[in-house]
Structure 1
Amino acid sequence: MNAKIRIAVNGYGVIGKRVAQAVTQQDDMELAGVADIGTDWRPRMATRKGFRLFGATTEHADGMKKAGLDISGTLQDLMDETDVVVDCTPKRMAAKNVEEYRRRNIKFIVQGGEKHAVTGHSFVAEASFDSARDRASTRVVSCNTTSIVRTLTALKGAGLLKRARGTLLRRATDPWESHEGGIMNTLVPEAEIPSHQGPDAQSVDPDLDVVTMAVKVPETIAHLHYWSVELKREATKEEVLDAFRSSSRISLIRIGDGLTAINTVKELMADLGRPHDNLYEVALWEDMLKVQGNECFYAYMVDNQAIVIPETIDAIRALTGRAESAQASIAKTNSALGIGQAFV
């Protein structure tokens, strides 16, 4: 293996372009290239950034060349010079692609749209880094599941967590394609309780006693979570906040600072100069949090386009054994992406 980990990103969409950008910010990784099937403005942005562009198949590469794109070959060519493939293709597509990755004996990462069974391992850096070490593959769980595991792991690590019940207000669609779908003037409840995020969190940490309910709402900016947690003992608000502060990927925000809604938090990310206005952290309202005896109530915001990006970077290091510990990888990723700095 080279001095730097060589990364291929398969699928240059909402997640893929953010993963590719984040890889270029790591001093122990290099972006070997990105593969896609499109001929519109999105892959053109990849070449504009200087990324090597590959067609997913020979047919796609030929079509992309005919459309005037500068193509370096096919995904097969890209894998010849790659240590890890990060598959960011649409939901259920990666489950088909993994057969080829395994045939090529190349390490790979899939995203949360795939089932746990695709890799047999689900990843959140603060909870399952060690069990991912030197594996052939892992699955970075969904945005909402990532936030659940981060926050509950912080409470668990402080010896506070007994059981958790959460209600998720889920955005309807990604902003860039809201003209093609989504909902308007209605709310759509997820048909089953628990919603899938709770059991998904248990695929990372089976010991979590967590139940989730979810409803799709007519907006596109971010998800909003409300949680009711039973603590193992009576605690103070400051003890709970200290537990959340123990995670560098949970940022406490305040309504008192004017961060009164998810759009204001997203605007703050733009003012901070984050690429794509990315909110990598769980943004949890400190002044809203309430503790009554052994019960705790809080709310937070999840940027579904960004929260899984640092997890994906850490998953690369875990699979390749390139970090001494989860803490070492997290610190390295955080430094490169500017995570953990006070917002206000």
Structure 2
Amino acid sequence: MNDDREDDFAEHELPHPDFRCGFVALAGRPNVGKSTLLNALIGVRLSIVSPRPQTTRHRILGIATSEAGQILYVDTPGLHRGAKRAMNRSLNRAVRSAISEVELAVQVIEAGRWTDEDEALYEALDEQKVPRLLVINKVDLTKDKAALLPFVAELSEKHSFEAVHYVSALKRKGLEALTHDIITRLPVRAPVFGEDEITDRSERFLAAEMVREQLMLRLDQELPYATTVEIEQFQDRPDGIAEIHAVIWVERDGQKAIVIGQGGEQLKAIGTAARRHMERMFDRKVFLRLWVKVREGWADDESLLKQFGYTD
């Protein structure tokens, strides 16, 4: 933990003598359900979700406050092996940075699967000497639950975890026991955030993510990975409506045409769905305008990645 965070802790009073608070990394390879798990644990749809791997590109802090304590969940991008593009390398740096600053790590895997990427993440956690819980997600998809026992036994022979939890983030099963276990492992400490706060991210950031989520859900093949979203304007008008102007960046002219769609129908559908999500999250009306622009090679340009918010 850095000194700035320690200063943040000092700003709040301890609600009771056994109140606990700390940072907990949710880590795993792409598409194991970390973002779905974060949303289930905090009870709010904060982190964007799609069936595609590598949907999460940023570290997102989700705050869950209860009488027992405050858990500061850090949802990380999936750890990539053989990352060739600058963006993938940036995401890997974000993961490694996140796990170096937490009191506890939760490694999330799919039921019955342990891949080379899972092993690489385990080794990264091992290097940081951070206590680890293993969460086996998507157990609802396993018909024979007894088959998981030898799988876990073999894993436990070769790897060291403080505890193992079986959960279904989608069905919200096993979360109460997991939450209790996490709380008991955090230090006695005053809360960092107010009890009603759910994230430290701005509405501007969340708006960009909601547009990108629709790109992930609505575009085919590899096209969603060639896109990113930049918010050029976010202001509250006198009539109480949030006016948001966003640019969808793509890498080629052909991609721009696909995002816009015939007669602009695809772009309109993306904007309508994103706006509805924004209005629910921000609790006010939203006027959203979208543009699609071409910036060749943006995902390999370190300076552009920083401009678009990809930081360690």
| TM-score in terms of structure 2 length | 0.40
